[in-house]
Amino acid sequence: MVQSLDRSQGRSGAPVGAASDAAATVTGNRALQIEEKLIFEQGQPGRTGVDLPEPPKVKDRLNGLRRIGEIGLPGLSEPQVVQHYTRLSQKNYAIDMGVYPLGSCTMKHNPRINEKVARLPGIGDLHPLQPVSTVQGALELIDQLAHWLKTLTGMPAVAMSPAAGAHGEMCGMMAIAAALEARGERKQRTVVLAPESAHGTNPATAAALGFTVKPIPANDRGRVDLAALTAALGPDVAAIMLTNPNTCGLFESEIIEISKAVHAAGAFFYCDGANFNAIVGRVRPGDLGVDCMHINLHKTFSTPHGGGGPGAGPVVLSQALAPFAPYPWIVKDGSGWRIAEEGSATPNSARIGGTPLGRLKAFHGQMGMFTRALAYIMSHGADGLRQVAEDAVLSANYVKARLQDVMTPAFDGPCMHEALFDDGFLKDTGVSTLDFAKAMIDEGYHPMTMYFPLVVHGALLIEPTESQAKEDLDLFIAALRSLAERAKSGTEAEAFKAAPRLAPRRRLDETLAARKPVLRWRPSNNPPGGDPLKQAAE
């Protein structure tokens, strides 16, 4: 835990950093906003909520590395543990509390039917080491989800095992590298093109696989500069990694031309599918010439980030890349299902001379996310999924239209699923993008994504998704309009810099926290140095 606040008590009993306009209380509490200490500050030696038997004596196999001191965990009763984590949860902003406008993250409502299905007996209690004969329904579920992912993307194959978006990128780019190896061009094609507005994982993935990353600039419309891309293509280019809709919230209107140019140069087209939520049911990436694309199931098909468990990043593959899909995959033999393991060839691998990738992940992906995603797809149907994209785009354009007279849109014209503003409306006000975002906390909103994409100065990226009712968006818009007008008044810069005032803690010194993080709590009577485990135990 990184702690950079002075937690000493003021005369009122409220922690330093608590809202200055709060009434003084002995406890530090503010009605139902309960002051909460660190769990280590609450612990007492010997206190416990469980009574475990002594473990049996076994032969020591730790080769002299057995711990000799206390581990330093806090001692608390069961009620204290429950109260502590309940109070912490009440200090978190959540998608179930209100508008969660993080751009590029798709923090959408997770329908409760998905959670119910994921917890059904026979699904929620599966074990990955069960005999295949006992998980026939689970394998059929995965295969059915794979079918709909291929249908929605217009792609012939899908690898289900990648754990999330960046892992899916790794899978797709490994398939591209394998295809180039099969063509005898892996050593020749060493360059991967990445638009300057790309997600940071794109160049990182390419570099991790040994490729050289070459950035491609954007034009004044916020899209890939086609002329610059064409000029960069050559016999040394392996692929382009492009997001569509892109990270500026815009559809790449020249996507067909980009695809044709990339393929004409003998390279592959990797599409970052993080923003598939904006086009699902409306556009099939396979029709755009995409060779592979990862799909963030936890974004497009429910479960917000951190909202219920791990993500999942299946990768759809073109006919040219399908033979290189990683193990394992699911095969139906007669009336039963089995998992094809290493040594099983794809139908096209022998013909093309390719070799499937090995395993990228233990077992076969994230069953909980597969179940939620399939429940989401089946409950919406074709028309519902199309409406998901339409409503997400409508919501973003509504936000942009209602704010464009008081804030400065980064680009002209309609957007897709997220509205992007720059900090032009804050010029000469003394208020920064960060100050503006911190003031949103006092209004009861989690700030939007800030300073991303990097191609826009002081960016504020808002993604309302399809989940929010119009009246909720209206209140959110009213709050932003009020903040923008206050900032431009020229008289409230100091108030913005002091925000948030009403949160359980005031603004962190983020620079100090990054440079001198306090990573371990120590009792106040023990100075730094010595044995930290012993100090914690004391």
- pLDDT band at 535, cuts 50/70/90? very low
Stretch 162-167: mean pLDDT: 91
Stretch 236-243: mean pLDDT: 97
In Å, how far are 136, 330, 358 from 340, measured between CA atoms? 14, 6, 12
To 10 degrees, what angle do helices 433-442 and 470-488 make? 130
DSSP 8-state assignment for residue 13: S
Convert the pLDDT of each residue in 63-88 to its tens digit: 888 888 878 889 999 999 999 999 99
Mean confidence (pLDDT) of the chain:
88
**Amino acid type, 216:** I
Convert the pLDDT of each residue in 462-485 to its tens digit: 999 999 999 999 999 999 999 999
Convert the pLDDT of each residue in 99-124 to its tens digit: 999 998 889 998 999 999 999 998 99
* Domain 117-322+367-373 class, CATH top level: alpha beta
The answer to whether the CB of 462 falls within 8 A of the CB of 101 is: yes
Convert the pLDDT of each residue in 489-530 to its tens digit: 999 999 999 999 999 888 988 889 999 998 888 777 655 544
Across 170-307, the runs of DSSP E, i.e. the strands, are 191-195, 212-216, 237-243, 268-273, 292-295
Interatomic CA distance for residues 255 and 260, integer angstroms? 9
- pLDDT band at 345, cuts 50/70/90? low
The pair of structure tokens assigned to 426 is: 């804050």
The answer to whether the CB of 108 falls within 8 A of the CB of 304 is: yes
Stretch 276-288: mean pLDDT: 96
| Beta carbons within 8 Å of 175's beta carbon, 6+ residues apart | 159, 292, 315, 317, 321, 324, 325, 326, 357
The pair of structure tokens assigned to 484 is: 């923008």
- pLDDT band at 47, cuts 50/70/90? very high
Buried b (16+ CB within 10 A) or exposed e, 22-58: beeeeebebeebebbeebbebbeeeeeeeeeeeeeee
CA neighbor of 440 nearest in space, from 504, 392, 503, 508: 503
Stretch 226-233: mean pLDDT: 97
Q: Is the pLDDT of residue 302 over 50?
A: yes
Which phi-psi region, left, alpha or beta, contains residue 469 (left: φ > 0; alpha: ψ -120 to 50)? Answer: beta
Lowest-confidence range among 153-167, 331-345, 454-468, 478-492? 331-345
Domain residue spans of the chain: 117-322+367-373
Q: Is the pLDDT of residue 350 over 80?
A: no
**Stronger pLDDT, 40 or 13, i.e. the higher one:** 40
**pLDDT for the residue numbered 63:** 87
Stretch 321-331: mean pLDDT: 90
Backbone angles phi, psi at 230, to 5 degrees: -60, -40
**pLDDT for the residue numbered 521:** 80
Cross-strand bridge partners of residue 337? 332
Convert the pLDDT of each residue in 399-457 to its tens digit: 999 999 999 999 999 999 999 999 999 999 999 999 999 999 999 999 999 999 999 99
Residue with tokens 């939520």: 277
Cross-strand bridge partners of residue 218? 224
**pLDDT for the residue numbered 68:** 84
Interatomic CA distance for residues 393 and 484, integer angstroms? 24
Interatomic CA distance for residues 109 and 119, integer angstroms? 18
- In the chain, % helix, strand, coil (3-state, to 5) comes to 35, 10, 55
Convert the pLDDT of each residue in 7-31 to its tens digit: 433 333 344 444 444 457 888 888 8
In total, the chain counts a number of residues equal to: 538
Backbone angles phi, psi at 33, to 5 degrees: -90, 95
**pLDDT for the residue numbered 134:** 95
